[in-house]
Amino acid sequence: MNFPQTIKERRTIRRFNTTPVEPELVVSLLNDAARLYEAEGTPRWRCLIAGTPESRHRLVESMMAKLKVSRFGKLLPAKMIDFFIKRITDIPVHLIFIAESASDRRQSDENYAAVCSVMQNFQLLGWDRGLGALWDTDPIFQSESFLAEIGLQEGERFAGILHIGYFDKAPRARGRTPAQQKWTAIGGGGIADGLHSDQAQISAHSILEVLNDAVWAPNDGLREPWRFIYMTGTEAAAKLPDYSENPSSAFLLIAAKQEADPHKQEEDYAAVCCLIQNVQLLVKSRPWYVRRSIPDWIYDRDQCKPFGILPEERIVALLELGVNDRSPQPEPSPPPLVNITYL
Ligand SMILES: Cc1cc2nc3c(=O)[nH]c(=O)nc-3n(C[C@H](O)[C@H](O)[C@H](O)COP(=O)(O)O)c2cc1C
């Protein structure tokens, strides 16, 4: 896949045609999407598929149950409710993504970050095969009937539904803010000094090139909730006490803006995960490596202060970037990872 092109060209599709989507294709894309995710740890997440007329109907009924009996729902014309039900049931496939429960906050974030990244991979791989997707987190999914239908357990995090189908026309792109405007450099690598950093093998300038493609991540309300904090290995070693010094690496802290509304917080965290996933995919076409991690210290506000993290922000991940000194090895194909249930 030409990652830079697909990342920029992918659009959220809200109008699908009636061409059926082969179930085998969905499962194979899911497994490929899971294999493309690379980070430390063993994240746990699961996916439910509603791809038959019966399961799609049950799903939409569970979404509508609360609305139908609510005062607002009773005021809605029956035609409007039927229109909504038909719109959802006509979409060939719905994929429901859930991050499994975890023993602590960091593991919970790891699970959630993984599932969001896989959703982005799925959208990109699907796009390459002519499939469109809508990532949907409508508040209607918070209803008890829907959560019971998908079997959400305590501690699990619902990441959203991907509605999947073929489409006739993609909408026009809405522009993204250049990454430079969301960039802060600690030490060298600032805009003012021409983005030069002497120590890092990878210049701030070339990282910005990657970021300017990565910002084409899906993000609800186009809030573009990310910010980039760049530093060299020397700076990182000075600021992170337990970090092994590697002066030739470049480091990027990716921060997410935290809205007061918890629903938006989850959506924004998800969007930042998609952006990070884009970076990882984009780096594949360069002679670089990237290591993605969620260090424990990001949960300690005091340890975040030296990096200029604002009270309404949180760090989503630390990326270490460097130049590959080994010739690329063919990667062994691991077994499929996805825990799939059919609704
Ligand atoms: C976490 C997340 C939640 C989203 N939720 C919705 C949603 O509920 N309804 C919707 O129409 N679009 C939703 N979107 C899609 C965004 O609106 C879309 O990505 C944005 O408008 C940019 O368009 P693009 O994806 O075509 O670049 C969501 C995207 C993400 C990443």
Ligand 1 pocket mutation, candidates 135, 158, 172, 267, criterion most atoms within 8 A of CB: 135
The closest residue, in CA terms, to atom 6 on ligand 1 is 136
219 lines ligand 1 (CB under 6 A): yes
Burial 21-42 (b: 16+ CB within 10 A, else e): beeeebbebbbbbbbbbebeee
pLDDT digits (tens, 9 = 90+) for 159-201: 999 999 999 999 999 999 999 999 999 876 555 444 555 566 7
Is this prediction's pTM over 0.85?
yes
Stated as kind and residue range, the H or E segment containing 325 is none
Q: Other CB atoms closer than 10 Å to residue 64's CB: what's the count?
A: 19
Q: How far apart (Å, rounded) are the C-alpha atoms in residues 319 and 21?
A: 36
Tell me how far the alpha carbon of residue 277 lies from the centroid of ligand 1, in angstroms. Answer: 16
Is 137 touching ligand 1 by the criterion CB < 6 Å?
Answer: yes
285: its two tokens:
């076409």
Distance of CA 272 from the midpoint of ligand 1 (Å) = 12
Residue 160 Cβ inside 6 Å of ligand 1? The answer reads yes
186/184 Cα distance (integer angstroms): 7
Q: What is the DSSP string of 217-258?
A: ---GGG---EEEEEEEHHHHHHH-TTPPP-TT-EEEEEEEE-
Residue with tokens 């530093």: 231
Sequential pLDDT tens for the chain (343 residues): 899 999 999 999 999 999 999 999 999 999 999 999 998 888 999 999 999 999 999 999 999 888 877 888 788 888 988 998 999 999 999 999 999 999 999 999 999 999 999 999 999 999 999 999 999 999 989 999 999 999 999 999 999 999 999 999 999 999 999 999 999 998 765 554 445 555 667 889 999 999 999 999 999 999 999 999 999 877 777 777 666 566 788 899 999 999 999 999 999 999 999 999 999 999 999 999 999 999 999 999 999 999 999 999 999 999 999 998 755 555 655 655 689 999 9
